[in-house]
Amino acid sequence: MNSSMTIKETCEEYRPYEKCFKYGAEVLTDQELLAVILRTGSFGESSVLLADKVLSYSGNKEGLLILLHLSVEELMKIKGIGRVKAIQLKCIAELSKRISKTSASDKLDFSSPSSIAGYYMEDLRHEEKEQLILVMVNTKHRLIRDKVMTTGTVSSSLVSTREIFIEALRNGAVYIVLIHNHPSGDPSPSREDIINTKHIKEAGSLIGIELIDHIIIGDFRYTSMRERGIL
């Protein structure tokens, strides 16, 4: 440390806000980044100590990923986190997901399972329940829209082939892609996944809407039924 620095300068050197201003956000630790968002601590604690409490909540080992899993109510159980701070943290978590997805959208190619999986990975890999997403595509292989069709266990009793194609026809889709997640993190298709996929493909053939792929999202992993030769 430079001996000529004043006490005030020394303190500012190690405050996350000033550190970010002087050296850039990339040099901040996870705790410091979170501290900048929280701005203030409470009960005599600094914002950095409060950030550390959030990141280590309930023995968490996921670091910043915990913000995606905890609800506003759960965050408010942490001493020093009120409703405003809890909402700020959830908004930051959602913003990070949207930035990641927007970046991936520039490279979205419906002829590439890895491109599709990358686009939906951040939305689905943190979900604690299974979701089935219907992706609708036009004649130029461009995205029309997507829609969550079910939330919960993806099974034949919950996935309605009829509802899938009503939605696809309503939106003028020529091609569709099915995407669902496995909260376990393992994207291997179950026997039921394979049977349902084949039924949907057959139904689509009858009405002229092709099922391009069914992609299962795990934790930074995916399985494409087209790549596996199931479709």
Same domain, 116 and 219: yes
Q: Which string of b and e fits 36-70 if b means at least 16 CB within 10 Å?
A: bebeebeeeeebbebbbbbbebeeeeeebebbbeb
Same domain, 123 and 81: no
Same domain, 123 and 97: no
Q: Does a structural domain hold residue 230?
A: no
State the residue range of the domain holding 181: 107-224
Q: Does a structural domain hold residue 96?
A: yes
Rounded Cα gap, residues 112 and 158, in angstroms: 28
Q: Does a structural domain hold residue 177?
A: yes
The residues, ordered by sequence, that sit 6+ positions from 49 with a Cβ below 8 Å of its Cβ are: 41
Q: Which among 211, 221, 151 is positioned nearest to 188, based on CA atoms?
A: 221
How many domains does the chain contain in total? 2
Q: Which amino acid is at 194?
A: I
Q: Which among 72, 124, 129 is positioned nearest to 101, based on CA atoms?
A: 124
Q: Which among 121, 134, 91, 141 is positioned nearest to 182, based on CA atoms?
A: 121
Same domain, 112 and 212: yes
Same domain, 16 and 93: yes
Same domain, 112 and 193: yes
Same domain, 34 and 78: yes
Q: CA end-to-end span of the chain, whole Å?
A: 64
Q: Does a structural domain hold residue 231?
A: no
Rounded Cα gap, residues 205 and 231, in angstroms: 12
The residue among 34, 67, 101 that closes a domain is 101
Same domain, 61 and 111: no
Same domain, 93 and 112: no
Same domain, 74 and 127: no
Residue 187: the pLDDT is 92
In a structure prediction context, what are the per-residue pLDDT tens digits for the chain, which is 231 residues long? 444 444 443 344 458 888 888 888 888 888 888 888 887 766 667 888 888 888 887 666 567 878 877 889 988 988 888 899 899 898 988 888 777 767 666 667 778 898 888 888 877 877 888 899 999 999 888 888 899 998 876 544 456 899 999 999 999 999 999 999 998 889 999 898 999 999 999 999 999 999 999 999 998 899 999 999 988
Rounded Cα gap, residues 101 and 194, in angstroms: 27
E strand intervals along the chain: 131-137, 143-151, 175-181, 210-217, 222-224
Residue 176: the pLDDT is 96
Residue 5: the pLDDT is 42
Q: Does a structural domain hold residue 229?
A: no
Same domain, 137 and 189: yes
Question: What is the secondary structure of 155-220 as a DSSP string?
Answer: -TTT--HHHHHHHHHHTT-SEEEEEEE-TTS--PPPHHHHHHHHHHHHHHHHHT-EEEEEEEE-SS
The residue among 101, 129, 146 that closes a domain is 101
